[in-house]
Chains A and B, each alone.
Chain A
Amino acid sequence: MTAYETIILTVITASTPLLLAAIGELVVERAGVLNLGIEGMMAMGAVSGFAMAQVTGSAWLGVLFAMLAGVAISMLFAFLTQSLVTNQVATGLSITLLGLGLSGLIGGGFVGMPGIKLDYVAIPVLSELPLVGKLIFGQDPLVYISILLTVGVAYTLKKTRIGLIIRAVGQNHHSAHALGYPVIKVRYACIAFGGLTSGLAGAYLSLVYTPQWIENMTAGRGWIALALVVFSTWLPARLAAGAYLFGGVWILGLYAQGMGVGIPSQFLSSLPYLATIIALIVISTNRRLSVINTPASLGQGFVPDR
Chain B
Amino acid sequence: MKKLLTAAATVALASAMSMSAMADKLKVGFIYIGPPGDHGWTYQHDQGRIAVENKLGDKVETVFVENVPEGPDAERTITRLARQGAGLIYTTSFGYMDPTLKVAKRFPDVKFEHATGYKRADNVATYSSRFYEGRYVIGQIAAKMSKSGTAGYIASFPIPEVVRGINSFLLGAQSVNPDFKLKVVWVNSWFDPGKEADAAKVLISQGADIITQHTDSTAAVQVAEEQGVYAFGQASDMAAFGPKSVLTSIIDDWAPYYIARTEAALNGTWESTDTFGGMDSGMVGMGPFANMPADVKAMAEKTTAAITDGSFHPFTGPIYKQDGSLAVKEGEILDIGTLLGMDWYVQGVDDQL
Contacts and interface: CB of A to CB of B under 8 A. Distances in A.
Interface in A271-305: none
Interface string B16-43: 0000000000000000000111110001
A214 B193 contact: yes
A210 B204 contact: no
A260 B194 contact: no
A254 B206 CA distance: 11
Contacts of A257: 184-186, 351
A1 B241 CA distance: 22
Contacts of B236: 112
* Listed residue (A211, A214, A262) with the most chain B CB atoms within 10 angstroms of its CB: A214
Contacts of A255: 202, 205-206
A254 B199 contact: yes
Contact of A6 (B37, B39, B201, B218): B201
Interface stretch (A7-15, A149-157, A180-188, A235-243): A7-15
A136 B72 CA distance: 52
Given A114-B240, A258-B183, A209 B194 contact: yes
* Listed residue (B189, B196, B205) with the most chain A CB atoms within 10 angstroms of its CB: B205
Given A6-B205, A217-B193, A219-B195, A265 B37 contact: no
A254 B352 CA distance: 14
Report, as a range, how many residues of chain A touch the other chain.
35 or more
Interface stretch (A54-62, A71-79, A103-111, A163-171): A103-111
A14 B198 contact: yes
A172 interface: no
Contacts of A111: 35-39, 43
B351 A210 contact: no
B280 interface: no
B205 A7 contact: yes
A210 B202 contact: no
Nearest to B186: A265
A182 B71 CA distance: 52
A158 to B, nearest CB: 33
* Listed residue (B192, B202, B352) with the most chain A CB atoms within 10 angstroms of its CB: B202
Contacts of B48: none
B183 to A, nearest CB: 5
B197 A260 contact: no
B179 to A, nearest CB: 16
A222 to B, nearest CB: 12
B338 interface: no
Contacts of A214: 37-39, 191, 193, 217
A254 B198 contact: yes
A270 B242 CA distance: 31
Contact of A210 (B184, B189, B193): B193
Contacts of B206: 3, 255, 258-259
Given A112-B39, A114-B241, A221 B198 contact: no
Contact of B193 (A10, A13, A14, A212): A212
A199 B61 CA distance: 41
Contacts of B203: 258
B50 to A, nearest CB: 14
Given A13-B197, A219-B189, 9 more contacts: A104-B35, A114-B218, A209-B193, A212-B218, A214-B39, A254-B187, A254-B199, A255-B205, A257-B184
Q: Which 5 A-B pairs have the closest CB atoms?
A: A111-B37, A265-B186, A6-B205, A210-B193, A262-B352
25 contacts: A9-B201, A10-B198, A13-B198, A14-B194, A111-B35, A112-B37, A112-B236, A209-B194, A209-B197, A210-B197, A214-B217, A215-B35, A219-B194, A250-B198, A254-B195, A254-B202, A255-B202, A255-B205, A257-B186, A258-B184, A258-B202, A258-B206, A262-B352, A265-B186, A265-B188
Interface of B: 35-39, 43, 152, 183-189, 191-199, 201-208, 217-219, 222, 227, 236, 240-241, 350-352
